Amino acid sequence: MTGRIFLKLILGLLCLLLPALVSVDYFATRGATDIYIQNLVEQRADNARVLALSLPDPAALDGASLREMARAARGRLTVVRSDGRVLADSEADPAQMENHRTNPRPELLRAFAGYVGWDIRSSATLGIRFLYVAVPGPKSLPGGAVRLAVPLAEVDRQVARIRGQVLVSTALAFLPAIAIAALVARRISRRFAAVMAHAGELARGNFRARLPHTGPSEFGQLARTLNDTAEELEKTLEQLQREHAELEKVERIRKDFVINVSHELRTPLASIQGYTETLIDGALDDPEHNLRFLGIIRRNAERLARITEDLLTLSRVEQKRQTFEFASHPANALLTEAVELVRPMAQKNDIRLEMEPAPAAAEAWCDSEAVSQILSNLLDNAVKYTPRGGRIAVGAAPAGRFLEVYVRDTGIGIPAGELPRLFERFYRVDKARSRELGGTGLGLSIVKHLVAAHHGTIRVESRIHEGSAFFFTLPVDESARHGERLNPEFTAP
Ligand SMILES: Nc1ncnc2c1ncn2[C@@H]1O[C@H](COP(=O)(O)OP(=O)(O)OP(=O)(O)O)[C@@H](O)[C@H]1O
Ligand SMILES: [Mg+2]
């Protein structure tokens, strides 16, 4: 590819250079030839003048001495009378030659008029090209002319020599230009090839490819523009991939949700159905079992009611249909109420429940019902997943424009790998254990959405077999509700 571009560029440059070379050659050769012929004419005119002066009386002219003189002048000598008759000629018989006035030669006409005349043409007598130079005749030949003719082969040889020299020198003069042109063409073709390779990379979807910047030239600008385009495409692609992944995640959660809901409802329903049929089939009259069966039916009905209630709460909060009554509440009042609600259960399980009071002035801008629901869910978990003899601490501390509330326990802890999915609906670390404890896996999901409705965030720190700590934030006043969030990693979708 580079080769083809290079070839085209160099051919283009040669197309520009060649006419210049040809015209320089033409004009230089012509100029040099003109000067050469002019010099030759002057030199031959001098020869002719000297010969004319040394001519004997025309009446005494003999062929042998004329041929001698012509040989010395390395040419052909012709002596013409004023009426055009040829008196003598070193190469031909004057009697055979036509009258040069009735059949005029341009150089002779000039000489008859008293000037030097010259012409280049083929000789009518010998048939080869000559340079004819004629000068006015001597006193013994008034109005006549003496003409010296030299074969043009000599002139042509000289012109060819001049031409050769001109060609060589112009070619030498153009050589650096051609070398520079070749270098420039190679540079341009390489850059072109780089740009084309880059475009190919982009076409194949490799938006990470970048062209090296090459200064402020057009190529540099092109490289920058292409790099910017690639960057834009890369960003757009990443954005689309992120959105795609997000959509896939939402779709997975939706499918899981439907499956989970059906599953969670089916188990208690099947149980109710089974025991009801057993009772109808006669167990109703069996005093040993009927009360136990009815108790099972009641527990399952309660579980169904709890699941339905949790699902409704979740969907209300998620779809923002839940109305909240925001007001300023003292932090310690919110904590005390929640702690007292769960204390009987903690005592029953032999768990120490402690409140670590927040600064007296600490307040939260929140819906007290919702915060009570958040705290009771977290405390309920803490009690459920903390073995006998454990400890639970609840407290709060101001953190900028937020109040950070925590519930810490010394319970079973949560494996690190489970933490990212902990707040998903129906997600339980140990399904069987949670179900045994009456859990549905909706508690933390509700908590997450309630916290998000307060523009707060929730996070968890946990170590397996050591305990867990849940932290959530609430705004301290109305203005902070629209401010930035703490710990954005666990914000609700
Ligand atoms: N304090 C904790 N210690 C250990 N594991 C916990 C703790 N809190 C929650 N988990 C784990 O997170 C899971 C999800 O909690 P979540 O409150 O959503 O559901 P649940 O308690 O099982 O049921 P529900 O709250 O709906 O009655 C629990 O099943 C449990 O495995
Ligand atoms: Mg729970």
DSSP 271-282: HHHHHHHHHHTT
Cα(22)–Cα(409) distance, integer angstroms: 98
| Residues 396 and 483 grouped into a single domain | yes
| Residues 307 and 401 grouped into a single domain | no
Q: 412: Cβ below 6 Å to ligand 1? A: yes
| Residues 317 and 376 grouped into a single domain | no
For the chain, report the end-to-end CA distance as a whole number of angstroms: 52
Q: 375: Cβ below 6 Å to ligand 1? A: no
| Residues 293 and 329 grouped into a single domain | no
Report which ligand 1 atom has the smallest distance to the Cα of 429: 31
CATH code for position 479:
3.30.565.10
| Residues 466 and 337 grouped into a single domain | yes
pTM recorded for the entire structure: 0.55
| Residues 114 and 260 grouped into a single domain | no
Asked if residue 187 belongs to a domain, the reply is: no
CATH code for position 221:
1.10.287.130
Q: What are the Cα distances from residue 153, in Å, to 44, 78, 91, 286, 475?
A: 15, 19, 17, 147, 112
The pocket of ion ligand 2, defined by CB under 5 A, consists of: 381, 443
* 374 C-beta neighbours (distance < 10 Å), count: 30
Give me the amino acid identity at 463. R
**Which candidate, 311, 324, 334, 320, places its Cα nearest to that of 407?**
334
| Residues 52 and 144 grouped into a single domain | yes
The best mutation among 434, 435, 436, 461 to test binding of ligand 1, ranked by most ligand atoms within 8 Å of the C-beta, falls on: 434
What is the count of structural domains for the chain?
Answer: 3
Asked if residue 244 belongs to a domain, the reply is: yes
The best mutation among 306, 381, 440 to test binding of ligand 1, ranked by most ligand atoms within 8 Å of the C-beta, falls on: 381
CATH code for position 44:
3.30.450.20
Q: What are the Cα distances from residue 294, in Å, to 5, 253, 272?
A: 91, 36, 9
Helix (H) or strand (E) holding 35: helix 2-53
Report which ligand 1 atom has the smallest distance to the Cα of 310: 26
**Which candidate, 50, 102, 54, 51, places its Cα nearest to that of 81?**
102
Asked if residue 251 belongs to a domain, the reply is: yes
* Residue 221 belongs to domain spanning: 207-322
β partners of residue 474 = 403
Q: Tell how far the Cα of 403 is from the centroid of ligand 2, in angstroms.
A: 23
| Residues 316 and 239 grouped into a single domain | yes
The phi-psi region of residue 441 (left if phi > 0; otherwise alpha if psi is between -120 and 50; otherwise beta) is: left
Asked if residue 169 belongs to a domain, the reply is: no
| Residues 29 and 78 grouped into a single domain | yes
| Residues 130 and 278 grouped into a single domain | no
- Which ligand sits nearest to residue 442's alpha carbon? 1
Asked if residue 168 belongs to a domain, the reply is: no
| Residues 119 and 218 grouped into a single domain | no
| Residues 334 and 312 grouped into a single domain | no
Cα(431)–Cα(62) distance, integer angstroms: 145
What residue owns the CA closest to ligand 1's atom 8? 381
Cα(294)–Cα(272) distance, integer angstroms: 9
pLDDT in tens, the chain (493 residues): 567 777 887 788 778 878 887 887 788 778 877 888 888 889 888 888 888 888 877 777 777 888 888 888 888 899 999 888 888 888 888 888 888 888 888 999 899 989 999 998 887 767 788 889 999 988 888 889 999 988 877 777 877 887 788 788 877 877 887 788 788 888 888 888 888 888 888 888 888 888 887 777 788 888 888 888 889 989 999 999 999 999 998 898 788 888 888 988 998 999 999 999 999 998 888 888 888 999 999 999 999 999 999 999 988 888 888 889 999 999 999 999 999 999 999 999 999 999 999 999 999 999 999 999 999 999 999 999 999 999 999 999 999 899 999 999 999 999 999 999 999 888 888 877 777 777 888 999 999 999 999 999 999 999 999 999 999 999 998 875 554 444 434 333 3
Contact 444, 417 (CB under 8 A): no
Asked if residue 178 belongs to a domain, the reply is: no
- Backbone φ and ψ for 228, nearest 5 degrees, come out as -60, -45
Q: Tell how far the Cα of 423 is from the centroid of ligand 2, in angstroms.
A: 10
What residue owns the CA closest to ligand 1's atom 27? 439
Q: 441: Cβ below 6 Å to ligand 1? A: yes
Q: Tell how far the Cα of 300 is from the centroid of ligand 1, in angstroms.
A: 20
